[in-house]
Amino acid sequence: MRILTFANLKGGSAKSTTTFNLAASLSEAGLKVLCIDLDPQKTLGEAFFGVHAGAETLSSALINDSAIEDAILPTDFENLFVIPADDGLKGIKSGQTQLEGGELRLRSCLMRLSSMLDQLGGSSRIDWILIDTPPSLDRLTMNALAASDYVLVPVDPGAGGRGALGDTIEYVYSARKWYNPTLQLVGLVINNTDPRTIYDQTTEQLVREIYGDLVFDIVITASVRVRESAESRVPLVFCDSNEFVRYANMYRALRDEVLQRVG
């Protein structure tokens, strides 16, 4: 079981969209994927997958250090499951809910989940866990980084996105220093660009000059098709119309790069 967090201080960098579509592309390849929506805005779980938290919630698992598997819910897609966000995460994010060892609660829950699945074996496996985080560097994001094997940073290459990127990477290194020494930054994926414009060509080149091989080869271009897919609650790789194929293939390429980088 491999755990990948999507993190960026800047809002609008397509963390939820990337999580949604990469998870689907992994499941399309026959892998069993669990998404965790750690953002109190509930975009991934409720808005994209259309799944609302049940009686057992993510926040209760974190607060009580209890069985996180009880919060797992199915989606409409084979091999694709989700733990949706819930309102209790707001208290954890703000610090109003005091937790001893608060930054390590998700790690504790997922270690027990992994151990249980190893004992059950067979079809009970989960190949990948993908974690969507808030657009802030707070206790929830640190929980995700402390629990993960890898972190992927979706990047808006504009001036604001580049400014937040340095802070985000610094936070990742802080998580590795204090909580998770094996955490790997798997790379940066550029989103929301229009390669036909000189501005976006220049900003992409600048990001590549600064961060080099950390930047994925694939670039996710801006398109209404990506938004339509999310609004219809169907990941791009599962959209039937030929109009979506080009953009679905971008996330397939991202999947292939991720799998190549993690080995």
Average pLDDT over residues 172-192: 96
Which domains are seen in the chain, by residue range?
Answer: 2-262 (3.40.50.300)
The answer, yes or no, to whether residue 137 has pLDDT greater than 90, is no
* Global confidence as pTM: 0.95
Question: What is the model's pLDDT at position 123?
Answer: 74
Name the band, by pLDDT with cuts 50, 70 and 90, for residue 185.
Answer: very high
CB distance 252 to 25 below 8 Å: yes
The answer, yes or no, to whether residue 1 has pLDDT greater than 80, is yes
Q: What percent of the chain has pLDDT over 70?
A: 98
Of 177, 135, 171, the C-alpha closest to 156 is 135
The first and second tokens of residue 200, run together, are: 């976006």
Question: What is the model's pLDDT at position 159?
Answer: 64
Helix (H) / strand (E) containing 184: strand 184-190
Average pLDDT over residues 161-169: 84
Average pLDDT over residues 12-41: 96
Interior/surface letters 35-74, b for 16+ CB within 10 angstroms, e for the rest: bbbbbbbbbbbbebbebebeebbbbbbbbebeebbebbee
Please, how many CA atoms are within 13 Å of residue 164, restricted to the half-sphere of its CB? 20
